Amino acid sequence: ENAVASGLGEKPWRVLLEDAPTFVKREVRRDSKYEVILLDPPHYGRGPAGEKWDLSEGLAPLLKGVAGILSDQSAACLSTYAVGISPLSLVGALGVLGEGVIEAGELALPEQDSGVGKPRLLPAGFCARFMRGLS
């Protein structure tokens, strides 16, 4: 449904659900290239074999690996709900991806319309987007 709503429809694309650091390391070794990478890492988490993920320690190495698998014409989007991370810090973090345009902002969900004025926006985290070679 999301692919159709995004205009992808029958175009070739795939979604990979895998441990991101492991995937990126493997794809760097394979010299793979990707046009779009979406990252939505948790602030903290544990894998099935007890692996630990901490955003403050893992994000920089993950993005360094992502830099190695982005094609010349590419985009990367990073969203996070971690307290203590700001749009400005995401801009700095995505700078490792190389030359390109970086935009950042806040994610928000509109409050269900109560019939009284404009619905309020409820904060839902931050995001940043990197783009290069795209118009």
Q: Which residue has the tokens 């928000």?
A: 108
DSSP-derived 3-state class of residue 41? coil
> Is 70 exceeded by the pLDDT of residue 135?
no
pTM of the predicted protein model: 0.82
Q: What pLDDT, in 10s, does the model give residues 64-102?
A: 999 999 999 999 999 998 777 899 999 999 999 999 999
What is the DSSP secondary structure assignment for residue 42, as one 8-state letter? -
pLDDT digits (tens, 9 = 90+) for 100-124: 999 999 999 988 876 777 888 888 9
In the DSSP assignment, the letter for residue 96 is: G
Spatial separation of the C-alpha atoms in residues 66 and 28, rounded to whole Å: 8
CA atoms within 13 A on the CB side of 74: 18
* Confidence (pLDDT) at 114: 66
Closest CA to 39 of 13, 12, 14, 66: 66
Residue in the block written with tokens 């320690």: 57
Written as six digits, the tokens of 3 are 């692919």
**Average pLDDT over all residues of the chain:** 89
Percentage of the residues of the chain whose pLDDT score is greater than 90: 53
